A and B are shown apart, each in its own frame.
Chain A
Amino acid sequence: MIINHPLLGPRDSQEFTYLGDAALIDRPDWQAEDAVDQFHDYLYLRDNPAGIHRELWFHETGDRSWLVVTRDTTTHEITSVELARDVARARGRSK
């Protein structure tokens, strides 16, 4: 596959390491009442869609950026690639 890196342009997926669902960005609040339950769901309950999936890829032999890649798991068509850092900020993550 070719991943169109937002900074570097098209790069072979061989250069990347796959992690999984981009929902891993949404790490729960450790001080919440039900933190253990929230962390449990965060870590173990994932969708596994046949179709559009937002997922995390690490440009391991590249610029070391984590990317959020939107990919159709049935066709491998990639419709969007974003820097995970930007996605994380947009989803309210800070420090």
Chain B
Amino acid sequence: MTQVNRLGGGQIDTGRTLSFRFDGKTFQGHPGDTLASALLANGVRLMGRSFKYHRPRGVLTAGSEEPNALVELRTGARQEPNTRATTAELFDGLQAASQNRFPSLKFDALAINDRFSNFLTAGFYYKTFMWPAAFWEKLYEPIIRKAAGLGSLSLQDDPDEYDKGFLHCDLLIIGAGPSGLAAALTAGRSGARVILADEDFAFGGRLNAETFSIGDADATDWVARTLAELQSMPNVRCMIRTTVIGAFDHGIYGAVERVSDHLPEPMPGKPRQILWRLYAKRTLLCAGAIERPIAFENNDRPGIMLAAAMRSYANRWAVTAAQKVAVFTNNDDGHRTAVDLIAKGVKVAAVIDPRPDAPRLADCELLAGAQVIDTQGRLGLKFIKVKLGDGSERTIECGALGVSGGWNPNVHMTCHQRGRPVWNADIAAFVPGKDGPAGLSVAGAAAGDFSTHSALRTGAAQAASALDGIGLSASPADMPEAEDAPVNLQPFWYVKHGKGRAWLDQQNDVTVKDVKLAHQENFRSVEHLKRYTTLGMATDQGKTSNMGGLAIMAELAGKSIPEVGTTIFRPPYTPVSMGVLGGRSRGMHFHPVRETPSHTWATEQGAVFVETGNWLRAQWFPKPGETHWRETVDREVRAVRSSVGVCDVTTLGKIDVQGTDAAPFLNRVYANAFAKLAVGKTRYGLMLREDGIAMDDGTTARLAEDHFVMTTTTANAVGVYRHLEFVRQCLCPDMDVQLISTTEAWAQYAVAGPNSRKLLQKIVDPEFDISNENFEFMACREITVCGGLRARLFRISFSGELAYEIAVPTRYGDALIRRLMSAGQEFDVVPYGTEALGVMRIEKGHAAGNELNGTTTALNLGMGRMVSKKKDSIGSTLSEREGLNQPDALALVGFKPKDNSAQVTSGGHLMSMGTPVDASHNQGYVTSACYSPILESSIGIGFLKDGSNRMGESLRLVSPLTDSEVEVEVVSAHFVDPEGDRLRV
């Protein structure tokens, strides 16, 4: 079948033919076609089945407001459900399939629902699936889910890339029809920064669909000329295929640019779509208007569409839905469809106009005072039944019917910040209210100025006035004469004749009857109406249907339409893919990765990495022959405790604290005292939140009288810095203290174990004496290593062994770890990862993130006495609260299983022997546990009520989650070297 319904002219390139498939059948179209126009050209009116009743449906519109013609576009991983055929650009090889039908579009088994429509009315689900409650999850929901939904997902990963971006402008113009183009000319010529965005793939808006002249030229020529001028201006950015999806606070708009949707697949490296964040000082909404239908019995057959859509298909795409058509309109504009189709050689059977005094504008039969009361044709329109002004009925044969109930200004964007449209009786439609987003004004048909003449002028004038508001001067561009027909309309929402179903919302299968039922059952507010009937939901958000529902509800309630009110619109304007919201942030690029200075080296060693925050840290370093991670970790721990090991600790936050008040400042932020810390010394610091709960801890070194370097835990580095700045700027604004993060500037390695000093002595330059006497425990010093490289050395220990941390500028970090490893060969030095680090700190009883878990106080952590009462520090006052200081407060202790082979489980709760296992008998919980290769037993640390006085007691460690129970003994949390002798040798 060739393109039987293709007409002459149009904005398509008939010189090239594109081949595409729909439901497995091959068709031809041309560049410039949409899938919908190409299907119509090939005589295909039936494009899908309706959501609820599986009624045969075709296109209603020619734009993004389309409720019916939703298809699955493409195949394989790119298969995309619920794509509007009216906006899908045709490309060679396009494949599409209809949805919501089985086994085929022409014969759909679930069309049986249509026979039961009396039961499936508004509120059916609410009323039917109420009871018994137990049936819901097992029976009702699975059945409903199976029947619901339209298209299907590919269930494969999206192969395309998406991007995002940010643009700034003085004036954002949404829509490039006559008003948008006039506005862009005005603003562009003034030199202002302009963004002109349009969702369509051709600029011009409605001008592409009409046969108007502007001045003495065809409107399409004027569009081309205007566009050429705009594109020559460096200050104007014309964004095609770009839908502005939402108006957000303070002039921020979201937009989706469909860069590659019109291609079989994106060009290499190019995104499928881009999500733009637009910063606009002023915005002009030139989004035009959307035609609304009239409801009548069986008004949903394929071939029945909006009159302006019929005109668009004829004028822009050179297509008619049938060779013989009719028009049903309550306004003069609808008659244009008849005029234009006749001019294209299509036979127009009649124009039916319910106005008794309807003017005769087209050269065809006019049935004034008449209404379409029913239609026939199982899979596409064949006949319409018309009730004439004198009451008689007549059947007219036609394959398509254009319907116009007037136009609704496209107020969507003006409602995004709770703005309410207001009623304009002259055009019987809602127009934007004055309470739209600040900085946004409206021009052209979107403001209710429907004629081309007035759209051009309001566009130019509103652009000048918007720029004036930001101090830029622009004079409205001179606009030529253009079509200036007045709005001539008799409000007419639905045909009252007959008892059959008249469709209001074709996407959700909502009929006039459903609205009546909602009214009868007292769901009368517009918001209730929407939710009870589903009117206006789903992908089209009621762009063509809300108005009809509202008008009928008003009539039933005996109120005027504005009295009933209107539902408002929310972003997005049209559906947005999840992919574009994610942008580049997906897969391994979901968040940035932070690599330690030894990363390359560790990778070479075959290290296994773990994510801690954004950091990738070596978790352990398996050696050939090691078959289990525990084997590796046990070896690393033993090696450190018996000789020496090296661990990359760069990830700990480092904050440079300087100033004459640096010491008092630290006194303020740490619970313990820092003022008297000697230069060249390091001290452990505990930081509390103002409520007395531990926030973070770490060591802080005093490099000079007025210079400290603070370390924070890896996880809290950002939060602690923010907190310090809060204290500095908001609480102590006159303290002389300056802060800056230096985390990344220094590669820092822990060198731990009895041979650590010997190893370091091999790389520390000889003029620096790091002997036990001259560089004692907790000392720090700026030194040089490896022949003059500046470095910092801290004698601090997390493992409990003689240990140091050495820092060099990050660029030398890779070289330093290699040097430490080669110099340490004689000591059998090992690298160790975060797992061994964790084991050793548990063995030593050092608190870490599991213990500083946002619920524990200094007292709980066994550091109650560290909280100085002689000074003002954050959290010290509220840490004195009675509730935090009960005699049986939780205390950090250690646990060993009674049976050496049993396992202590982190997260398990502690119960006294013989008590029930429930929350009221809870004695505490285990926070960290590991296997200690030194004690050759599983061990744990955790919090126990009055723990320090319960040494030696037996407890049950229960984990209902894992259904385990182990008997443990309470011991000191310091399993290894409790006196700390090893640290000081």
Contacts and interface: CB of A to CB of B under 8 A. Distances in A.
A23 to B, nearest CB: 11
Contacts of A2: 249-252, 279
A43 B880 CA distance: 15
Given A30-B876, A43-B691, A88-B730, 20 more contacts: A24-B726, A25-B731, A27-B731, A36-B877, A36-B881, A39-B690, A39-B878, A40-B878, A40-B881, A77-B438, A84-B729, A84-B730, A85-B729, A88-B731, A89-B733, A93-B732, A94-B732, A94-B734, A95-B661, A95-B734
Contacts of A76: 249-250
A95 B664 contact: yes
Nearest to B872: A30
A69 interface: no
Given A39-B690, A39-B877, A95-B735, A64 B664 contact: no
Interface in A1-44: 1-2, 12, 17, 19, 24-25, 27-28, 30-31, 35-36, 39-40, 42-43
Contacts of A87: 730
Contact of A85 (B664, B730, B878): B730
Q: How large is the interface on A (under 10, 10 to 19, 20 to 34, 35 or more residues)?
A: 35 or more
Interface-centre pick from A25, A39, A56, A78 (highest chain B CB count, 10 A) = A39
Nearest to B880: A36
A32 B154 CA distance: 67
Contacts of B725: 58, 64, 66
Interface of B: 249-252, 279, 438, 661, 664, 690-691, 718, 722, 725-726, 729-735, 872, 876-878, 880-881
Contacts of B726: 19, 24, 56, 58, 66
Nearest to A75: B417
A28 B876 CA distance: 12
Nearest to A87: B730
A57 to B, nearest CB: 11
Contact of A24 (B661, B722, B730, B876): B730
Contacts of A12: 252, 279
Contacts of B732: 93-95
B873 to A, nearest CB: 8
A88 B735 CA distance: 12
Nearest to A38: B877
A17 B251 contact: no
Interface string A64-91: 1110000000001110000111011100
A58 B729 CA distance: 10
Nearest to B690: A43
A19 to B, nearest CB: 7
A24 to B, nearest CB: 7
Contacts of A56: 726, 730
Contacts of A31: 872
A43 B878 contact: yes
B568 to A, nearest CB: 16
Contacts of A89: 733-734
A40 B872 CA distance: 16
B246 to A, nearest CB: 14
Contact of A66 (B729, B872, B876, B881): B729
Listed from nearest, the 5 A-B pairs whose CB atoms lie closest are A2-B250, A30-B872, A94-B734, A1-B249, A85-B729
A88 B877 CA distance: 21
Contacts of B722: 17, 58, 60
B690 A88 contact: no
Contact of B730 (A25, A64, A95): A25
Contacts of B249: 1-2, 76
A31 B871 CA distance: 9
A28 B250 CA distance: 36
A93 B730 contact: yes
Contacts of A83: 729
A28 B872 CA distance: 11
B250 A93 contact: no
Nearest to A74: B418
13 contacts: A1-B250, A2-B250, A2-B279, A12-B252, A17-B722, A56-B730, A60-B722, A77-B438, A84-B730, A88-B731, A89-B734, A93-B733, A94-B733
A12 to B, nearest CB: 7
B730 A30 contact: no
A66 B877 contact: no
B75 to A, nearest CB: 38
A93 B872 contact: no
Contacts of B250: 1-2, 76, 78
Nearest to A44: B691
Given A36-B880, A39-B878, A65 B729 contact: yes
Nearest to A40: B878
Nearest to B719: A17
Contact of B877 (A19, A25, A35, A95): A35
Nearest to A19: B726
Contacts of A24: 726, 730
Contacts of B729: 65-66, 83-85, 88
Nearest to B882: A36
Contacts of B691: 43
A65 B739 CA distance: 12
Contacts of B730: 24-25, 56, 66, 84-85, 87-88, 93
Nearest to B875: A39
B449 to A, nearest CB: 28
Nearest to B692: A39
A39 B732 CA distance: 17
